[in-house]
Structure 1
């Protein structure tokens, strides 16, 4: 009776690299098939994006703050790269398992498919067919890893047989055939996955006409415009402009991909504790009449001296007018705003109905329709509140409710349900790491105390007496002001500290506070080198 051929331990290790590659190719086919079917049948069915969004939802607050502080507006890209590396490692392990313990590799891809389905169907906007891309992708990937695993085992067995026969070569004609089959099938699958996967992603982006619709959108001119007084913007190199260009405006949100919403199909519903539930179209909203507002927005993730703050001219409709038409019921104290991607924010009802506060449904930013990444076609802009409780992008619902009955996205993640913006001031120039020449040097920056206004800004050099800075002319209490002091700089290193005082006579607190739960605080103190 012939002795059975068994792969030697060293022979199996020789094939670990090939088996890892087989797992990676199989995972690529999984994702490519899923992306293609998501493009054709279920735009929200991409497993990679769904899992990425799920990760964003569950990531602990300290990691979220680290990502924003480290990567800024590129935090989503960093997440996708991290997910890609995790998929790469996991799929390589699955390939090795399929070689040494079949069908564990196929089982691993099946589990990945189940997790992907769970992530997809629990996303906002999931449809009855959203699960299909993940299931079909998992089946395709599992089938391929089984086929490639069998080919590898045949190759390994033939090589072992040739070695046992002392042929003097690691390969035999049979093992050469098995190798060529593996390389042929694996190469075709890999090339197909790259073409189909990348093509589906590109097609998904290019077939969307929302960008073109936005460019062609003609909004009616606002009924009233912001008057920018003389002296509102200082001519000092390095200072932040009075109005932040759209391309430079900070972006922090939970959307892994920017939602594409056609204004023609957009609807805003007003529900909950109201006398008359409403549904507004984009034309209904714009038809109420637009006005222009000058408002500074601040992210709660903005550190002392940080750049997650910006100012724009917004065109919009007062939210109080919409809520007045719905008629909030007695006892309501909060509006839960909802984005098309499921994100929610909790805004005090009083902030949205106060006649003295210009909380708006914005449709334009700095004279053009909202950029896609900043909430097109409609977002909220509420002065005096951090964005996570007020500035919902891609708005689709306003639910009048109570803080006792509902909580928003960030509340269970360690942030306060209510978060007024803290008075702050920032040094824009000179910047740390950029030495300046001795002589007359302007120290300049911006300061904001929304809904109250800035009375003065004070600067201290090397912990000396406070000097009152020169202020730009304020546009309004909801817009930051610029400031500067002329400094006779002497060679060496110096510490510059800034603080603000608001129109109510309150001085910006020196006490340091972290971002969570309701925004950072403290005076900015920066080191300046003079040469």
Structure 2
């Protein structure tokens, strides 16, 4: 009964904290603590977690924190049955840890402490109610075995199956559980339900000043199993350090541009949407993408040129880094000269014909073709500071990742599927290749380590997207291996040398085995 009491008290605290976070638009204590854990985690351990859990790393961390809280709560519940002060002290310790976490990461949010305080109060109330009900089951307690025997003689215990005390505890526990679950669910639902004029569903994007033409007819080869040229928003990969997706209000959003500039300024969403927006077809790639991996996607983006934004501020000589910051505090360092060299680097507001999804940076993010996302693709961006690489280190640079990370030329086999089975004879081989802002000049394939031959390339709208490729091979029945390599427009051919993604992107030829029947 003690462990149940502790579990339910912790559950009440978490549910009430989620509700308070939803009402105030702040972050839940679990997420705040998780953010601090991420910041304090050594680089090697973080890289191991990314490699082991992939895109589930955030879920694993949050789940781990919740499990620790419930285990500690179960222990405290057992202790609290004997000494209630220990239970309340444990809740106070949890609250202190939560307050420290939100003050470290959210000191500028006036409501940041509210979820912690509300959660602690709800946990204490639930503990008091449960302890009172538990006392009704066990009866008055006295110290010492003799006193306990005397108490039992004077106050006979009611059987657990039929006693009113037991029923009272069950009813109290059920009420606490239901209240906690409801509070938590409502807290998760509120940010969308209470969305006002700044909600994503109400944001109307203007048309581009000069809309791009439709994609060339030959961009998508239509081969079953090949990755589509345009990635649906729902299927676009998501990699970031945010434990929960920020739900920003576009009417409150501001972007500050400052640092080594002549005229610092701020803009809001109304001003941004009133600017002449442009469209660009750009493929993004995550540095964590392994050879043959799927952390890459292509979309048509809508936004304002970052170079024009910086020209408005007047970048001073020597400012070689654009240090951008997201709403959750993550920082990114982008080479200034890359943004200013004429490529379609955007402060984007639209993706795939609609406002940015929350998971991809609503209401505004950076998109810079040709660089891995960790040095270019800040989501939920709220601050851009012109500075120097020698003076400021961004989040991943502090962990010894590369500071200038151009995307390496890469290709992937999609068809046949790995370990798949296909009819023998003429076998279709197909996939995608990319070398953003240089373009793919050629793709070559070979089967069973034979001679290389060139694949046919699909059409592309420009040099900033991936390209589909296709080839055919006459194969006898049996197991086969197909390898692929690409060459970019500068003449650089994809290397066979294997390298892990960290610190500046994976390398190597992608190969798959399959069976022809």
TM-score, length-normalised on structure 1?
Answer: 0.88
What is the CA–CA distance in structure 2 between the aligned matches of 1:204 and 1:373, rounded to whole Å? 14
Q: Report if aligned partners of 1:158, 1:172 keep a CA contact under 8 Å in 2.
A: no
Query: Distance between the aligned counterparts of 1:308 and 1:125, measured in 2?
Result: 33
Between stretches 203-212 and 278-287, larger displacement belongs to: 203-212
Of 252, 255, 264, the residue aligned with 1:277 is: 264
Structure 1 residues 366 and 166, CA gap change in structure 2 (3 angstroms):
closer
- Paired with 1:163 and 1:283, the residues of 2 have a C-alpha distance of 73
CA shift, 1:166, in A, is 12
8 Å Cα contact 2:334/2:404 also seen in 1: yes
Corresponding residue SS for 1:25: helix
Matched, 1:112 2:94: yes
Residue matched to 1:383: 369
**How many residues are aligned here?**
511
Distance (whole Å) between structure 1 residues aligned to residue 196 and residue 89 of structure 2: 40
Structure 1 SS opposite 2:347: strand
Q: Which runs of 5+ in 1 are unaligned?
A: 1-17
Structure 2 residue aligned with 1:525? 511
Per mean C-alpha deviation after superposition, the further-off stretch among 231-240 and 387-396 is 231-240
The answer on 1:339 being equivalent to 2:326 is: yes
Shift of 1:213: 4.3
- Partner residue in 2 for 1:398: 384
Contact between 1:110 and 1:139, CA under 8 Å: does it hold in 2?
A: no
Secondary structure of the equivalent of 2:485?
A: strand
Q: Report deviation, 1:179.
A: 3.8
Q: Equivalent residue for 2:286?
A: 299
CA contact (8 A) 1:29 1:193 kept: yes
Aligned counterpart, 2:11: 28
Relative to structure 2, which stretch is displaced further, 231-240 or 149-158? 149-158
Cα offset, 1:155, TM superposition: 4.4
CA distance in 2: counterparts of 1:211 and 1:63, whole angstroms: 38
* Most deviating of 132-141 and 508-517: 132-141
Corresponding residue of 2:21? 38
Show the counterpart of 1:81: 63
Matching of residues 314-333 of structure 1 within 5 Å: 314-333=301-320
8 Å CA contact 2:12, 2:119 repeated in 1: yes
Q: CA deviation at 1:146?
A: 5.3
The answer on 1:91 being equivalent to 2:73 is: yes
2-side partners of 1:299 and 1:372: how far apart? 18
How far apart in 1 are the matches of 2:355 and 2:248? 13
**Are residues 167 and 151 of structure 1, via their aligned partners in 2, closer, same or farther at CA, if it must alter by over 3 Å?**
closer
3-state SS of the aligned residue for 2:105? coil
Superposition deviation, residue 423 in structure 1: 0.9
Q: Is the 8 A contact 2:442 2:455 kept in 1?
A: yes
Query: Counterpart in 1 of 2:157?
Result: 172
1:374-417 deviations in Å (ceiling 9; x for gaps): 11221111011110110111111110000111111122234222
SS of residue in 1 equivalent to 2:257: strand
Aligned to 1:7: none
TM-score by length of 2: 0.91
Per-residue deviation, 1:282? 2.1
Q: Who is 2:395 aligned against?
A: 409
- The whole-number CA distance in structure 2 between the counterparts of 1:36 and 1:266 is 23
Superposition CA RMSD, Å = 2.8
How big is the shift at 1:24? Answer: 0.5
Q: Distance in 1 between matches of 2:319 and 2:152?
A: 86
Residue 122 of structure 1 and its aligned partner are, at CA, apart by 2.1
SS at match of 1:396: strand
* Unmatched runs of 5 consecutive residues or more in structure 2: none
Q: Does 1:235 align with 2:222?
A: yes
Alignment deviations for residues 198-227 of structure 1 (CA, whole Å, 9 cap, x no partner) = 233323442224785445514123414156
The alpha-carbon distance between structure 1 residues 450 and 173, as it changes in their structure 2 partners (threshold 3 A), is closer
| Post-superposition offset of 1:511 | 1.2
Change (3 A) 1:163 1:401: closer
Matches within 5 A, 1:242-257: 242-257=229-244
1:358 to 325, 333, 344: 344
- Distance in 2, matches of 1:483 and 1:205, equals 41
Q: In structure 2, how many angstroms separate the alpha carbons of the residues matched to 1:213 and 1:384? A: 28
2:449 aligns with 463
Aligned match of 1:207: 194
Residues in 2 aligned to 1:227 and 1:62: alpha-carbon distance in whole angstroms? 45
Matches within 5 A, 1:1-150: 18-40=1-23, 42-61=24-43, 64-65=46-47, 68=50, 72-100=54-82, 102-124=84-106, 126-145=108-127, 148-149=130-131
Partner in structure 1 of residue 489 of structure 2: 503
- What SS does structure 2 have at the residue aligned with 1:137? helix
Query: Would you say the 8 A contact 1:125–1:341 is kept in 2?
Result: no
